[in-house]
Chain A
Amino acid sequence: MIGRGTVASVQTIPAARNRWKLPSLRLQPWLVSWMQVAPLALILVVLFALPTVLFLAVSFFDYDRTGIYPAFMLDNYQELLTTPATLRVYLSSLKFASIVWAITLFLGFNIAYFLVFHVRSATLRIVFFLLCAIPFWTSGIIRTIAWIPFLGRNGAFNQLLMDSHITSKPLEFLLFSDFAVIITYVHLFTLLMIGPIANSLSKIDPALLEAARDSGASRWQTMVNVVIPLSKTGIALGSILVFTQVMGDYFVVKQMSGGQSASIVSALSTEIQAMQYPPAAANAMILVIFVAILVAGMMRVVDVRKELVK
């Protein structure tokens, strides 16, 4: 709250009422803003920017079994980029990210659209939103392992299928497979799509939809030419969140693929546990650059900041 005390001077206050006060400091508005955001800036620089610069530096270091040594060498990167495993794990993560992105976008957009434009009662809308959001505020680990008794060979889903005579024997592919990984991701991350998209949709003036309808646009044309362009900020923000969460995951793949797939970060954490910090840092750096390019690409399509801060 630093700096709030000085805002008054920015605006005109009747002098008579403040006559007994000391002449207040006249601070520039931008300076007031600076003081308000200073704690945030400080924390992010010290705890996020500096550590990132640090592992950038360490990625060029030399190491052996006993420790790491300052150096400038590209061996860590060279080793990483020439191992076929690197490419394989990136492709696998990208595959998961794209599939999960497509599913969560479909679900997220339709659900957000339903909540914003089809639910008429404001109270009901809030209740529905909360129903979507509440699981997000509970443990991701618990929500991941919740799928195990559900999808397993003797799990609830297989029993349901067999009891209703849809299948005669349990489906084996449900658990510890790519299928299980994808379904867990969708379960964990769909809200990250619903939230931003619903936020964008709720800013659309319904008069625009009526105008489109009155001018003879079909439902589909209204959707493609009016609704989607106006909600692209939400779509972009949701996509960024889902994509980066999947690329940065290491718990779900490890737990749900049954060891069949690896993720970028699980490979990296193995190196960290082995105290091989420089190769781990190089690995981290490649991932950061990769994610940054993806995010920057999406930010180019939509000016997220302009839409959010206005």
Chain B
Amino acid sequence: MASVTRKGEKRPWTTYALGSLFGLFLVFLYGPMAVIYVLSFQGPEGGVTFPMVGTSLTWFRDIVKPGQMANIPVSFSRSLELAVLVSCITVAVSVAAGLGFRRKFPGSGALFYLAIASLVMPSLLVGFGIGLGFQFLGWQTNLFTSALGAQLTWTLPFGLLAMFAVVNRFNRSWEEAASDLGATAWQRLVHVTLPILLPGILGVAMGAFTLSYDEYARTTLTIGTKNTLPLEIYALISSSSSPTLFAIGTITTAVSFAVIGVTLLLVFRMQRRRGLMKAA
């Protein structure tokens, strides 16, 4: 990658125009979210809009208080469990498939379009189809069967597309070198291919985790009786209009940020170590 201008050359006016557009876009992207994070610390007398009437943690305490919010903590842990599971399956399946797609094989086109179709299918319809299937079979829809399956139809195509980008940048001569040096296929996979792809694989894991953790439309018709957090939040929107909703939003965002942050930290550390090794 390189820029339109060389180093030291005067930047064209378009840089400033596009830069301002990008700055405005970031304000647009983060502005409204910042508003709800601030409002979640609203004082006990305050409402869902500005002005702030003091600051407090009242609305955060409301979440764990028994009562209307009783389902929030338990649905939160369910969401986490499901997201971890979805993330693991997505990594295993899409990494294998990403490697498989490096060769042309009979049916590769059909499978690719099946994945794209699964990605672009209106989300609620996927849940509807799976829910109907369970009903016909006389099975009870459940968090770890139907809801897990419904989420995989969304995270797997994303994982596959991400793996295409990761695998594209992978230089196959590394693998050839390993084979030439006598590595078995297994050794080559474990000691060469996977470590090189690891930053990308972590990205897929994180993407799948956050997509699952926040997923609503595919899950709603396949969840059975025990809700995940986004479903609980959805139910709250119509029934409650207190800053508690914002407090929940602040917490879920904090969790997403923590997952993203830890992943990025790992990836950067890995890249840096690699950079050092290259330099040495």
Q: Which residues of A approach B to under 8 Å, CB–CB?
A: 1-9, 11-14, 17-18, 21, 29-30, 32-37, 39-41, 43-52, 54-55, 58, 107, 110-111, 113-120, 122, 125, 128, 130-132, 134-135, 137-143, 145-152, 154-156, 159, 187, 190, 199, 202, 206, 209, 219, 240-241, 244, 247-248, 250-251, 255, 264-265, 268-269, 272, 277, 280-281, 284, 287-288, 291-292, 295, 304-305, 308-310
Contact = CB atoms under 8 A, between A and B. Distances in A.
Given A58-B132, A284-B128, A156 B35 contact: yes
Nearest to A10: B185
B15 A118 contact: yes
Contacts of B170: none
Contacts of B237: 141, 145, 255
Contact of B18 (A3, A118, A206, A264): A118
Contacts of B28: 187
Interface residues of B, number: 108
**Which 4 A-B residue pairs are closest in the complex by CB-CB distance?**
A51-B129, A248-B122, A36-B100, A8-B185
A149 B48 contact: yes
Contact of A308 (B14, B161, B233): B161
A194 B222 CA distance: 31
5 contacts: A2-B96, A49-B114, A156-B50, A240-B120, A281-B128
B34 to A, nearest CB: 9
A35 B107 CA distance: 12
A48 B100 contact: no
Contacts of B70: none
Contacts of B206: 137
B124 interface: yes
B205 interface: no
B256 A139 contact: yes
Contacts of A280: 128
Contacts of B184: 8, 13, 18, 21
B7 interface: yes
Given A44-B115, A149-B48, A36 B97 contact: yes
Main secondary structure of the interface of A (DSSP, over half): helix
B262 interface: no
Contacts of B105: 29-30, 33-34, 37
Contacts of A4: 96, 99, 185-186, 189
A117 to B, nearest CB: 5
B149 A47 contact: yes
B223 interface: no
B257 interface: yes
Nearest to B33: A146
Contact of A250 (B92, B124, B246): B124
B174 interface: no
B112 interface: yes
Contact of B21 (A2, A114, A244): A114
Given A5-B185, A48-B153, A265 B124 contact: yes
B25 interface: yes
Contact of A37 (B31, B49, B97, B252): B97
Interface of B: 1-4, 7, 11-12, 14-15, 18-19, 21-22, 25-26, 28-33, 35-36, 39, 48-50, 92-97, 99-109, 111-126, 128-130, 132-133, 136, 149-150, 152-153, 156, 160-161, 164-165, 168, 176, 179, 182-186, 188-189, 206-207, 210-211, 213-214, 216-217, 221, 230, 233-234, 237, 245-246, 249, 252-253, 256-257, 259-260, 264
A29 B96 CA distance: 14
Most A C-beta atoms less than 10 A away, residue of B19, B49, B216: B49
Contacts of A277: 132
B25 A305 contact: no
Given A32-B100, A33-B105, A111-B25, A13 B130 contact: no
Nearest to A28: B105
Given A159-B50, A309-B112, 11 more contacts: A21-B184, A43-B153, A44-B114, A54-B129, A54-B132, A137-B214, A142-B33, A190-B25, A240-B116, A255-B237, A295-B120
A144 B73 CA distance: 22
A50 B133 contact: yes
B214 A141 contact: yes
A83 B9 CA distance: 63
Contacts of B185: 4-9
A211 to B, nearest CB: 13
Contacts of A115: 22
Contacts of A154: 49-50
A51 B100 contact: no
A227 to B, nearest CB: 10
A247 B121 CA distance: 10
B18 A113 contact: yes
Contacts of A292: 117
B18 A110 contact: yes
A288 B117 CA distance: 10
Contacts of B182: 13-14, 17-18
B141 to A, nearest CB: 12
